């Protein structure tokens, strides 16, 4: 399993960041799962540049620009130079802040050009009985992949985060059968966009109200390859419990 911890803007001091990194290092001693930490940009550089562990680091976002006279922007290239090897692209919170499908596609291309492994976030706002949300998922993937070559598309990881499931309890979040169906659908869409058998090798993650009480069921027989975890990843006790449930 690939476990991506998106710290968002929850961590605002070095002491807490150091504690979370220490917890992650300890977890890696007893698990074969891969852990990717996505701290705020300044903290990423502080840890990734001197990283000697199996922990990998991800940018929470990258700029749609490639550098130059762009005050305040942080490009994919500088993230890579700072030690990041992954980049979260198209997170729902960035889309809500104004990232269109076109901007997401541009950021995805920049991340790949900087040799970062992109984690492309997709997810419907609500579900309808007619299945129109499936067309929405297809469009999000297709819009992001269309400008890319076949080889570039094969590098992307998909993170399915249904907006309606975020912030819910485990009981009211997505069930394992629904998640399994969505993973099959995502792989069907990928099979139309990726060459050969690459779709079967593409990684698909899940995020949205993941708790110690449901993470094992969500991981079992659903076809997912890991999790993108938000708020729970900055609670060291909760994050440790989530990871241990998968072991």
Active site positions, annotated: 91, 161
Residue 237: exposed, middle, or buried by beta-carbon count in 10 A (0-12, 13-18, 19+)? exposed
Question: How far is residue 36's CA from residue 87's CA, in Å, rounded to a whole number?
Answer: 10
Question: How far is residue 134's CA from residue 62's CA, in Å, rounded to a whole number?
Answer: 27
Closest to 112 in 3D by CA, of 67, 157, 178? 157
Helix (H, G, I), strand (E, B) or coil at 140: helix
C-beta of residue 6 within 8 angstroms of C-beta of residue 228: yes
Question: How far is residue 132's CA from residue 125's CA, in Å, rounded to a whole number?
Answer: 11
> What backbone phi and psi angles, to 5 degrees, belong to 79?
-65, -45
């Amino acid at each position: 399993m690939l476990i991506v911890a998106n710290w968002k803007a929850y961590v605002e001091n070095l002491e807490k960041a150091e504690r979370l990194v220490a917890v992650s290092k300890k977890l890696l001693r007893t698990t074969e799962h891969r852990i990717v930490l996505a701290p705020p940009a300044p903290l990423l550089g502080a840890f990734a540049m001197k990283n000697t562990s199996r922990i990998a680091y991800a940018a929470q976002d990258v700029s749609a620009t490639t550098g130059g006279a762009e005050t305040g922007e942080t490009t994919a290239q500088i993230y890579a130079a700072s030690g990041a090897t992954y980049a979260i692209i198209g997170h729902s919170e960035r889309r809500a802040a104004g990232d269109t499908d076109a901007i997401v596609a541009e950021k995805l291309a920049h991340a790949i050009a900087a040799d970062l492994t992109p984690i492309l976030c997709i997810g419907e706002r609500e579900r309808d009985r007619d299945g129109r949300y499936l067309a929405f998922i297809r469009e999000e993937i297709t819009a992001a992949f269309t400008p890319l070559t076949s080889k570039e598309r094969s590098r992307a990881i998909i993170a399915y985060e249904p907006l309606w499931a975020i912030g819910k309890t485990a009981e009211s979040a997505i069930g394992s059968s629904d998640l399994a169906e969505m993973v099959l659908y995502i792989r069907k869409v990928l099979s139309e966009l990726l060459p050969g058998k690459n779709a079967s090798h593409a990684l698909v993650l899940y995020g949205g109200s993941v708790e110690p009480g449901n993470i094992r069921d969500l991981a079992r027989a659903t076809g997912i390859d890991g999790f993108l975890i938000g708020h729970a990843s900055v609670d060291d006790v909760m994050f440790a419990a989530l990871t241990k449930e998968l072991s």
